[in-house]
Amino acid sequence: MTPGMTSPLVEGKMGTGGSPRTKEACIGSPINVGVDVVEPQPRRKCPESSLKQALRGARMRGSLNVTLESPKAIQLPNPLNDGPSSSLKQTLKRARERGTLDAGLESNPGKSPRLDYVRNTAASSLSQAPVVASSPMTPQCTLKASTITPPTPACLPSTERVKPRCLFGSEDKRAEILSNHSRAGTPNKHVKATPSKSVRSTPKKAKTKDDVVDTPSMRKSPRFVRAVQRNLNETPTKERRRHRNTLEPGQRVPTKKFVHKESRNAARRTGGSSQKEQLRRYVKKVVSEGVEYRVGDDVYVRKGVKENGDNAANGGAEQWSDSDAEVEDCVLCGENGQSIMLECDECLGGYHLRCLDPPLEEVPEGDWMCPVCSAVARGDNVERSTHAKRRRRTTRERFIAQDIWASRIEKIWRDKEGTLYFQGRWWALPEETADGRQPWHGRRELFRSSIADENEMNTIIRHCFVMPPDLYAKAGHEGDDVFMCGHEYDFRHQTFKRIADEFDDVSEADDSEDESFDPSRKSKYHSLVSSDDDDDFDNEFDIKKKRCTPKGTPKGTPKAKPKSTQATPKAANVWKGRVDRIEGVGAKAVPRPRKRPLTYLEKAKAALGLSAAPTSLPCRDKEKSEIEAFLKDAVAAGEECLGRCLYISGVPGTGKTATVLEVMKGLRSKVDSGELPPYRFVEINGLRLPSPEHAYTVLHEALTGQHCGWRRALQFLDARFSDSKPLQGVHARPCILLVDELDLLVTRSQSVLYNLFDWPSRANSRLIVIGIANTMDLPERMLPRIASRLGLHRISFGPYSHTQLQQILATRLEGIPAFDKQAVEFASRKVAAVSGDARRALELCRRAAEITEMRVQPITTSFTTCEAAPASSVPVHQQDSSNEPPESQIACKLIGMSDIEAAIAEMFQAPHIQFMKRCSKFSKIFLVAMVIEQHRTTMVETTFEKVVSAFMRLCVTHKEHCPGEDLIMTVGCKLGVSRILLCEPAIRHRHQKLQLNFPCDDVQFALKDDKELSWLSKYL
Amino acid sequence: MVSEEEVVEAVSFLRRRLCAAVWETGVGAAGPPLLPDVEKNCRNLEACLIGTIENGSNNSVLLLGPRGSGKTLVTERVLAHLQRTFPERVSVVRLNGLLHADDRCALKAIAEQLCLDHHLVFSKTAAFDDNLHFLTIMLKESALSHKSVVFILEEFDLFAQRPKQRLLYNLLDSMQSTLTQAAVVGLSCRLDADELLEKRVRSRFSNRKLLFLPPSSEDICQLLHDVLMLPTDGSLGDSPFISMWNENTKKVLEATMQDIIGQTVALDPSPHHIFDLALRAVCNLDQGRGLLTVADFKAANTLLHSQFKREALQNLSVLELYLLVCMKRLESKEQEVCNFTIVFEEYQHLQETHKTSDHYSREIALRAFEHLMERELIIYADFRGRNDAIEFRPVQLLIDNLELQEGLSLNPQCPVILRQWFEHMTFK
């Protein structure tokens, strides 16, 4: 590893931090047959085994469940190969048995299985199918045995022109397919051959384009044509089924489940669905030549050409004349040597370290620009063209040049002829957005578009990897095909939207994951990847829940509420029963990322925010383990899950809800790993319901997915929970119900609470209820029948002590030396003395950080006149980055006791004393008059008449001009409005009752040292 | 000599500055200058909101201060400035505790404003639940599109006086999740507004307060001075009139500083009050002369600080004065609550003893009584229904002795005997 490589801190929401990329020379694949394996030198990137490393990287990312451990696996008879590819194999077998397959299927499991298309029709209409040898695509390298990793130049000295493998290809039938496709009207067949064998490819049918110019903003949907196999004797379904059942010995049985289901469902599938979808069989992953393609992978996709084919020559030629080099050559020397290559951040060109002038020893930190780009940036006119021509283009470059496209596989299926198709969501380059590429777009930045299309799997070239920004920053050495995507782009509205983490909200994720895969219900929380993880392989039901048609219009589910059938445009705020993404909301342009790293103060502020929850809550381990034990017990109890209610109480800000949610996260991971049976999680908040009875609606909707009024929901739930026979299947899962702010569900008859806590005690209800409230004795205040149920298990969250608060603050501020130690202790002691509320402590420290920031870099915008702000103006304290004080002055930037004191004064002090000190002269006299009256009558309450007489006496005595009664009335009322006095409405005139809102001592304290009216102190 | 147009222009400029203080926040607006404290609050608020917009930290802040101290002005100015600095990244939702009396209304208003902002279709018939869900979704989507939502809640104390503080809870709770980029700014004239919050809501509210304390008299006088000066930087033309005006105004202000302005400040030092005085003075300006005078300020003072009860007394008829005096006599006899019949009896008694010429019948007296009721010099003492006849309902007098005495002396129609009788009564 190159030492010392750090990536600049990526800000949470914006930022394109990246590490300088290096190109390395190829690394020999350890599995290449007969080739000298070049030992990988310490380098950060290995383009040749980019795929391998990229796969590893993608695995790190976690979203690719790649089970392929190493390319080595390919060589061996790997049951893995056989498993997922069984679908392919079976098609092949089917074809073979039908007698229409000429090429034999190599039964060598080591080799990647190919899908030989069965096509009889001969055709050669497509001229651009210079199939085999003449095409530059033909693999000239036959040595490459590994199909995963493209061969490196080192091991294949003959050529670096490695073509991306063509998948699913059979050369013999290529022509037929060509003709098929051409007949069907589709153009293009590129013939690409797999490098591993001289197997020819099937013509690929990539995305076709209409005659309309391919504007960047609108990709038309593919004119998707099926290859109709008219000449085939189609095996009737039954036969097919039979064939499928007989597997070759030695081949791994692809989960019987798959088979049975298929057969069962094939019969079940009726003409309800559309023709197209009727015969789809969905698969999760497909293996071809040892490369596994799963739902969720990113792949390069071949571009299509125009239909009429007149562009075919150009397009074809263009697409074939370039080869897809896997590895870049050095710009300067044109070779792909073994030394480390450095990638320029501007032009993404690769340079050997030793080729540079002066030669560098190690990879420089931060961004690096090649000499050409630096010269251009400086303003010199430099010829750029030369260094572009000499090199062959890698796939990535072709992609960036918009020669090929990239998409993410969302679904894979096989249609009834056995062709594999996939639906993929396109990745858009910044050039394709409305404003084009902006200077702050990263060179490897992509946007997820709102358009998804269906294509054949033939069109896939190979993997690429698109990562979210944080992973991208960490992925310094994953290969050439790594891109970064932080935003979504909507072509229709031309807006950007940041991609949220999928599992930010525990309850949302829980709902989507833990609920069973029930095709009849629509999930409110539909995520991008469809949440049907239940079945292993097959996913027959196309729920018809397309996220977007190619035109970017959302569709509701067929089971959507009747509201969606209105002809009028749907109102955005009527939300029941719709998918939860609003179209059309998005930023017009992604804001510029901050160029400079965060200061300590800013990091501290970010870490102390209430929304920045830590991964684990400190100081709550005991309670957490109790709750966890309770829940695990309850969930694992299965049949005996009776009467599980838990009551959690504690003052606000002690971490009750946060702890419960954290426990739920932990349980979810346990479910994933199989230790616990799956469960359902529903969260209800008493303050979010319009009325307590709506709790029934929410629960009902969560359990069944249907929305109805609360009375019907109550009936249904009652029936369901009183049912004596146990629930089957999906509904047999235990349901954990979390009721937050329980005291707001109390009604006069307390029926809601009674029901909620009674249902768990019935047999077969499988309901576990956790209630959270503030009062410790809430059960005692309820009717006894509820108290007995509610009060069984109780956990009380006490307020935090000052040591605990200190620990909490320390956990949050780990690694950020922005606070004085004493300051933290002072803050926690103060808050612990007042309330013990963790939120208060965090807010206090955050406010202190802000005060420090204002002290160090004050804002100097002037608000006195409404001047036009200059377009790029940002309040000055943020522009001072260039003038940041040197490290030696950091000490004064630490948050000290004085800042904490200022923050405490702001937050905890009542403002009335300050106010009384500064109010108007007559107000002060009025207050003193009130004090006099109070002392005289020893009653707090007085009438306006009396106060006025006292007022006038004071004025006369001290030679102040006395205003009229009405004006004194206004003075009094103004004090009343600010709640310094409590007074009746002024309509009562002289009978108005008045009272001081604060003790006399406060008035005395405030007014005794008044400079203007020094005689006031006599009376106080 | 000063030309008419210049005077008119100057006067209209000043009036615009004094009247439309809050809402003129566009570029080049002639907004009034700010007190130094108020400006400090502006900067604090701006820092707070920039923290939300740039760094995504959710903030909530309360602006507390008496009426007319500039809270709304500050909010509007800061928002306008932010919208100019960060175009398309701030979306504002404004709520008022007086307008949105209910939490349902308030949520509907929020949904409507958000829909308008993002050009979505809004339906008036959505339920509370729908609107709440919509709010959550929109906050999430706005955060993903790098847009911050700023909620301005005026009359914040009224929101806190709702039974369950549902709206406040939902807003402040949604700010605790990472997927929200929002700020809540509450404006209130009650200094204890944050103590009205329930403990749950209070815990979620970051107790930031920006106080708008009453300014000192030097500050406010300086403010008045600044506001009445015409700009000399050429934005209003370059005539010698401007410097003439400025000099003159300075002199006038110094002359009136002690009494008129001092009295005004002593009553209520809020900027709003001072601008009121200045506005009336400017409006009273004699266009012929073209410059402010002390007389203008005096007139403004009388207008602004008029004593309505005194004026009301000056305009009463004799019979009404009689009735008032009778009621006063009854009061001095410890009968504070009386009804019309008793008053009329007293009146008749008076007439018998003194044999004046102002003898009126009962019906006319009743009519006079009703008139007094309308002028609010008398009020019903009971708050129950109106089923009883007017004559028999108890009434209370709302005028003081001193006021009545003054009114009697100032009233031109008041018979001397009444005055004497009144004084005689008070001496008794």
CATH of the domain at A454: 2.30.30.490
Has residue B165 got a pLDDT over 80?
A: yes
Q: Are residues A236 and A131 in the same domain?
A: yes
pLDDT digits (tens, 9 = 90+) for A953-1000: 999 998 888 888 889 999 999 999 999 999 998 888 888 999 999 999
Q: What are phi and psi of B373, to 5 degrees?
A: -60, -40
pLDDT classification of A149: cutoffs 50, 70, 90: very low
A947 within domain boundaries: yes
With an 8 Å Cβ cutoff, are A576 and B396 in contact? no
Q: Which of B60, B116, B206 to mutate to test the interface with A (most CBs of A within 10 A)?
A: B206
Has residue A891 got a pLDDT over 60?
A: no
Whose structure tokens read 């809640």? B153
Average pLDDT of the residues in A257-263: 39
* Higher per-residue confidence, A595 vs A285: A285
E strand or H helix that includes residue A412? strand A405-414
Whose structure tokens read 């522009």? A879
How many CB contacts within 8 angstroms connect chain A with chain B?
A: 293
Q: What are phi and psi of B355, to 5 degrees?
A: 50, 55
Helix (H/G/I), strand (E/B), else coil: B96: strand
> Is the Cβ of A584 closer than 8 Å to some Cβ of chain B?
yes
pLDDT classification of B64: cutoffs 50, 70, 90: very high
Q: Are residues B286 and B323 in the same domain?
A: no
Chain A residues 497-536 with CB within 8 Å of chain B: 497-500, 504-505
Average pLDDT of the residues in A548-574: 44
Gap from A112 CA to chain B (nearest CA, Å): 43
Lowest mean pLDDT among A107-111, A726-730, B248-252: A107-111
Residue A575 has what pLDDT?
A: 60
Find the Cα–Cα–Cα–Cα dihedral A206, A209, A214, A219, rounded to 10°: -70
Question: Which two structure tokens, joined as six digits, stand for A576?
Answer: 């029941």
> Is the Cβ of A984 closer than 8 Å to some Cβ of chain B?
no
Question: Which residues of A fall within a CB distance of 8 Å from B310?
Answer: 964, 966
B27 within domain boundaries: no
Gap from A872 CA to chain B (nearest CA, Å): 7
Q: Comparing C-alpha atoms, which of A86, A148, A75 is closest to residue A110?
A: A75
Q: Are residues B80 and B180 in the same domain?
A: yes
With an 8 Å Cβ cutoff, are A978 and B376 in contact? no
Picking from B46, B379, B400, the nearest residue to A859 by CB comes out as B46
Residue A337 has what pLDDT?
A: 60
Q: Are residues A628 and A756 in the same domain?
A: yes
Has residue A819 got a pLDDT over 50?
A: yes
Average pLDDT of the residues in A257-285: 53
Average pLDDT of the residues in B38-58: 89
pLDDT classification of B13: cutoffs 50, 70, 90: confident
Which residues have CB under 8 Å from B367's CB, separation 6+?
none
With an 8 Å Cβ cutoff, are A967 and B307 in contact? yes
* Higher per-residue confidence, B161 vs A524: B161
Distance CA A121, CA A94 (A): 18
| Burial zone of B26 (CB within 10 Å; 0-12 exposed, 13-18 middle, 19+ buried) | exposed
Separation in Å, CA B302 to CA A444, A610, B262, B295, B411:
73, 54, 14, 11, 18
Domains held by chain B: number: 3
A518 within domain boundaries: no
Gap from B292 CA to chain A (nearest CA, Å): 24
Distance CA A160, CA A329 (A): 10
B88 within domain boundaries: yes
E strand or H helix that includes residue B369? helix B362-374
Q: Are residues A212 and A310 in the same domain?
A: yes
Residue B66 has what pLDDT?
A: 92
Q: Are A742 and A773 in contact (CB under 8 A)?
A: yes
Question: Which residues of A fall within a CB distance of 8 Å from B213?
Answer: 911, 914-915, 918
A774 within domain boundaries: yes
Q: Are residues A96 and A158 in the same domain?
A: yes
Question: Which residues of A fall within a CB distance of 8 Å from B268?
Answer: 920, 970-971, 974
Distance CA A963, CA A801 (A): 55
Residue A478 has what pLDDT?
A: 59
Average pLDDT of the residues in A284-305: 78
Side chain identity, residue A253: V
Distance CA A484, CA A741 (A): 42
Separation in Å, CA B16 to CA A216, B230, B235, B269:
50, 12, 15, 21
Question: Which residues of A fall within a CB distance of 8 Å from B89?
Answer: 587, 591
Q: Are residues B367 and B416 in the same domain?
A: yes
Which structural domain, as residue segments, surrounds residue A831?
598-618+800-864+891-909
* Higher per-residue confidence, B155 vs A226: B155
Has residue A384 got a pLDDT over 70?
A: no
Q: Are A716 and A696 in contact (CB under 8 A)?
A: no
Q: Are residues B242 and B196 in the same domain?
A: no
> For A864-1018, where are the alpha helices, taking DSSP H only?
876-879, 897-908, 912-918, 921-937, 944-957, 965-977, 1000-1007
The CATH number assigned to the domain holding A18 equals 3.30.40.10
A875 C-beta neighbours (distance < 10 Å), count: 21
Rounded to 5°, the CA angle B194-B200-B202 comes to 20
Picking from A865, A906, A910, the nearest residue to B208 by CB comes out as A906
Q: Are residues B346 and B247 in the same domain?
A: no
Question: Which residues of A fall within a CB distance of 8 Å from B206?
Answer: 610, 839, 843, 846-847
Q: Are residues B133 and B51 in the same domain?
A: yes
Has residue A740 got a pLDDT over 70?
A: yes
Has residue A215 got a pLDDT over 60?
A: no
Distance CA B314, CA A718 (A): 76
The CATH number assigned to the domain holding B93 equals 3.40.50.300
Average pLDDT of the residues in A136-150: 40
Residue A974 has what pLDDT?
A: 92
A551 within domain boundaries: no
Average pLDDT of the residues in A518-536: 34
Distance CA B84, CA B78 (A): 10
Average pLDDT of the residues in A863-891: 45
Has residue A529 got a pLDDT over 50?
A: no
Residue A714 has what pLDDT?
A: 92
> Is the Cβ of A613 closer than 8 Å to some Cβ of chain B?
yes
Distance CA A528, CA A554 (A): 13
Has residue A14 got a pLDDT over 80?
A: no
B11 within domain boundaries: no
Rg (C-alpha) for chain A, rounded Å, is 36
Q: What is the mean pLDDT of chain A?
A: 67
Picking from B122, B144, B216, the nearest residue to A571 by CB comes out as B122
Q: Are residues A834 and A822 in the same domain?
A: yes
Orientation of helix B166-174 relative to helix B103-117, angle to 10°? 40
> Is the Cβ of A569 closer than 8 Å to some Cβ of chain B?
yes
Domains held by chain A: number: 5
B1 within domain boundaries: no
Cis, peptide link before residue A690, omega less than 30° from 0? no
Picking from B115, B309, B379, the nearest residue to A573 by CB comes out as B115
Q: Are B81 and A869 in contact (CB under 8 A)?
A: yes
Gap from B34 CA to chain A (nearest CA, Å): 6
With an 8 Å Cβ cutoff, are A991 and B398 in contact? yes
> Is the Cβ of A837 closer than 8 Å to some Cβ of chain B?
yes
Question: Which two structure tokens, joined as six digits, stand for A849?
Answer: 């950080």
pLDDT digits (tens, 9 = 90+) for B314-334: 888 888 888 888 888 888 888
Has residue A231 got a pLDDT over 60?
A: no
With an 8 Å Cβ cutoff, are B145 and A586 in contact? yes
Nearest CA in chain A to B123: A571
pLDDT digits (tens, 9 = 90+) for A596-626: 777 888 888 888 888 887 778 888 899 999 9
Average pLDDT of the residues in A699-714: 88
Question: Which two structure tokens, joined as six digits, stand for B252?
Answer: 């006038």
Residue A682 has what pLDDT?
A: 92
Has residue B31 got a pLDDT over 50?
A: yes
B240 within domain boundaries: yes
Q: Are residues A650 and A754 in the same domain?
A: yes
Distance CA B97, CA B32 (A): 27
B202 within domain boundaries: yes
A512 within domain boundaries: no
Q: Comparing C-alpha atoms, which of A527, A523, A574 is closest to residue B134?
A: A574
Q: Are B20 and B14 in contact (CB under 8 A)?
A: no
With an 8 Å Cβ cutoff, are A846 and B206 in contact? yes
State the distance between the two ends of chain B, measured CA to CA, in whole angstroms: 63
The CATH number assigned to the domain holding A661 equals 3.40.50.300
Q: Are residues B66 and B194 in the same domain?
A: yes
B9 within domain boundaries: no
* A907: Cα separation from own chain's centroid: 35
DSSP string, A445-487: EEEEEEEEEEEEGGGEEEEEEEE-HHHHHH-SSS-TTEEEEEE
Q: Are residues B168 and B239 in the same domain?
A: no
pLDDT digits (tens, 9 = 90+) for A296-318: 888 888 876 544 444 334 433 33
pLDDT digits (tens, 9 = 90+) for B224-281: 888 888 887 777 777 788 888 888 888 888 887 778 888 888 888 888 888 888 899 8
A61 within domain boundaries: no
With an 8 Å Cβ cutoff, are A575 and B265 in contact? no
* Higher per-residue confidence, A343 vs A74: A343
Which structural domain, as residue segments, surrounds residue B252?
216-306
pLDDT classification of A282: cutoffs 50, 70, 90: confident
Q: Are residues A333 and A464 in the same domain?
A: no
Q: ipTM higher than 0.95?
A: no
Has residue A784 got a pLDDT over 50?
A: yes
Q: Are residues A143 and A214 in the same domain?
A: yes
Q: Which of B145, B148, B184, B212 to mutate to test the interface with A (most CBs of A within 10 A)?
A: B145
> Is the Cβ of A970 closer than 8 Å to some Cβ of chain B?
yes
Separation in Å, CA A423 to CA A306, A449, A547, A564:
21, 13, 11, 26
Question: Which two structure tokens, joined as six digits, stand for A229?
Answer: 């196999």
